[in-house]
């Protein structure tokens, strides 16, 4: 009996060992297949990542820096557009391609966002090795480790230089077209001699000294030559009359402000809207006695108030079919008398404070 029990016990132990060995074999096989699958997935992911990197490198401008902003990697596109070799860039900061026109505040804002683990996006003007300019749309992202510590920064850029050059070409074309239209008005009214050019420069300078930003200064420079565009619709018998206009004729002459406004009023372009405003309001007076609407003080658009001073200053100083040019002393005396009457007193104060700069413009366009 004891022998049979012993044999059965041995049989159970044998079966248990066989079952254990089978389980171990199955687990080992599963681990092998899992490991093989994992390695295959890792290889595939590595291949995909390499292709993603190649695609990004091919189509964009890429650089990496350490956490202190020192360049550790640049791709071929970065070298191509900047004109520098990798050896000249690695180990340097991006100041090597920084353009002098870029304000320091922009970079302070960028670093503040990066320190907060945020991606910074913006338009950056850079310079090449030979000093030329290129424009990029940049996105800079901090790369962090598992402890959320910044290890490096990666910057991906898109070249916008051609787009910006085209945009500038369009702007210059618009500017030239407006100047030519202004010249046409001058020629028709026999007021040749750079009148619209001087008014444009006077207006831009007064706008600048008044604290307007560079965009608005350039907008006024480009739009102010259109201040008298409505004179195209005034009959020659009135426009070219060598004597002073009578009351009825002057009423017809005054319509040039309304007619000039109507030329541009339906445009959706900022430039032509500014031209419409200037044409409409440059004959309004600070005291409300101007035309065509009798606007008063700051109800008159700033562009109109600025161009009014520029236009009158130049008109009085140049010969017209109906008058001789005034000497400077007489013009300035009139301006003092009309400060707070015809003209915005604050703008006229700025004009007097910077009279030498305005006279320099006059001398440059005799």
Task: Take residue 113 and report the two structure tokens written for it.
Answer: 């966002």
Mean pLDDT lowest for which of 4-13, 54-63, 212-221, 269-278? 4-13
Domain final residue pick, 159, 194, 222:
159
Does residue 328 share a domain with residue 211?
A: yes
61, 77 contact by CB (below 8 A): yes
- Evaluate whether residue 171 is within a structural domain: yes
Does residue 180 share a domain with residue 93?
A: no
DSSP symbols for 28-94: HHHHHHHHHHHHHHHHHHHHHHHHHHHHHHHHSEEEEEETTSBEEEE-HHHHHHH---HHHHTTSBG
- Evaluate whether residue 144 is within a structural domain: yes
Does residue 129 share a domain with residue 208?
A: no
Q: What percentage of the chain reaches a pLDDT higher than 70?
A: 83
Q: Residue 128: give the domain boundaries.
A: 58-159
Does residue 319 share a domain with residue 187?
A: yes
Q: Provide CB contacts within 8 A for 287, sequence distance 6+.
A: 296, 340, 341, 342
Q: How far apart are CA 74 and CA 258, in angstroms?
A: 58
Does residue 227 share a domain with residue 347?
A: yes
Q: How far apart are CA 185 and CA 178, in angstroms?
A: 11
Does residue 247 share a domain with residue 219?
A: yes
- Evaluate whether residue 49 is within a structural domain: no
- Give the model's confidence band at 196: pLDDT under 50 very low, under 70 low, under 90 confident, else very high: confident
Mean pLDDT lowest for which of 33-47, 149-163, 266-280, 285-299? 33-47
- Evaluate whether residue 336 is within a structural domain: yes
- Evaluate whether residue 39 is within a structural domain: no
pLDDT of residue 154: 92
Catalytic, out of 3, 14, 190, 231? 231
Does residue 181 share a domain with residue 80?
A: no
State yes or no: pLDDT of 219 exceeds 90.
yes
Domain final residue pick, 159, 189, 204:
159
Domain count, the chain: 2
Q: For the CA atoms of the chain, what is the radius of gyration?
A: 37
CATH number at residue 89: 3.30.450.20
pLDDT of residue 244: 85
Phi-psi bin for 214: left (phi > 0), alpha (psi -120 to 50), beta?
A: alpha
Q: pLDDT tens digits, residue range 4-42? A: 766 677 677 667 676 776 776 676 666 666 666 666 666
Q: How far apart are CA 179 and CA 266, in angstroms?
A: 20
φ, ψ for residue 68, nearest 5 deg: -95, 0
Query: Alpha helices of 189-269 — where are they, by DSSP H?
Result: 195-209, 214-223, 236-239, 247-264
Is the preceding peptide bond at 326 cis, omega within 30 degrees of 0? no
- C-alpha pair distances (Å), 320 with each of 239, 255, 338: 11, 20, 22
Domain final residue pick, 128, 159, 190:
159
Does residue 203 share a domain with residue 322?
A: yes
CATH number at residue 255: 1.10.3210.10
Does residue 169 share a domain with residue 152?
A: no
Query: What average pLDDT does range 214-235 have in this prediction?
Result: 91
Does residue 259 share a domain with residue 142?
A: no
- Evaluate whether residue 310 is within a structural domain: yes
Does residue 352 share a domain with residue 206?
A: yes
- Evaluate whether residue 154 is within a structural domain: yes
Does residue 346 share a domain with residue 203?
A: yes
Q: Which residue has the higher pLDDT, 310 or 243?
A: 310
Whether 330 is a known active-site residue: answer no
Q: How far apart are the first and last CA of the chain?
A: 135
236, 249 contact by CB (below 8 A): no
- Evaluate whether residue 181 is within a structural domain: yes
pLDDT of residue 354: 95
- Give the model's confidence band at 191: pLDDT under 50 very low, under 70 low, under 90 confident, else very high: low
Predicted TM-score (pTM) of this structure: 0.63
- C-alpha pair distances (Å), 345 with each of 46, 91, 252, 305, 335: 71, 57, 29, 10, 10
Mapped onto helix, strand or coil, the DSSP state of residue 291 is: coil
- Give the model's confidence band at 161: pLDDT under 50 very low, under 70 low, under 90 confident, else very high: very high
């Amino acid at each position: 009996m004891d022998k049979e029990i012993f044999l059965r016990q041995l049989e159970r132990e044998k079966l248990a060992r066989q079952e254990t060995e089978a389980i171990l074999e199955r687990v080992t096989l599963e681990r092998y297949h899992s490991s093989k699958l994992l390695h295959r997935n890792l290889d595939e992911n590595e291949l995909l990542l390499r292709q993603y990197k190649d695609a990004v490198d091919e189509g964009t401008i890429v650089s990496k820096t350490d956490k202190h902003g020192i360049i550790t990697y640049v791709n071929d596109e970065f070298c191509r557009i900047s004109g520098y070799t990798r050896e000249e860039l690695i180990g340097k900061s991006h100041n090597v391609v920084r353009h002098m026109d870029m304000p320091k505040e922009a970079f302070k804002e960028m670093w503040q966002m990066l320190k907060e683990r945020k991606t910074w996006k913006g338009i950056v003007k850079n310079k090449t090795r030979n000093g030329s300019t290129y424009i990029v749309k940049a996105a800079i992202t901090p790369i962090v480790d598992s402890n959320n510590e910044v290890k490096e920064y990666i910057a991906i850029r898109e070249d916008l230089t051609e787009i910006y050059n085209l945009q500038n070409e369009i702007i210059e074309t618009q500017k030239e077209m407006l100047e030519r239209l202004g010249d046409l008005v001058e020629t028709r009214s026999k007021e040749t001699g750079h009148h619209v050019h001087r008014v444009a420069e006077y207006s831009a300078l007064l706008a600048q000294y008044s604290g307007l930003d560079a965009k608005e200064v350039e907008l006024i420079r480009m739009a102010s030559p259109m201040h008298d565009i409505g004179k195209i619709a005034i009959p020659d018998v009135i426009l070219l009359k060598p004597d002073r206009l009578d009351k009825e004729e002057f009423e017809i002459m005054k319509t040039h402000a309304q007619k000039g406004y109507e030329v541009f009023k339906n445009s959706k372009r900022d430039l032509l809207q500014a031209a419409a405003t200037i044409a409409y309001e440059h004959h309004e007076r600070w005291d409300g006695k101007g035309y065509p609407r009798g606007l008063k003080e700051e109800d008159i658009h700033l562009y109109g108030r600025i161009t009014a001073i520029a236009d009158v200053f130049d008109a009085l100083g140049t010969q017209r079919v109906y008058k001789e040019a005034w000497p400077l002393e007489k013009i300035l005396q009139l301006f003092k008398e009309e400060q707070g009457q015809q003209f915005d007193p604050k703008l006229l104060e700025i004009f007097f404070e910077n009279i030498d700069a305005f006279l320099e413009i006059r001398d440059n366009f005799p």
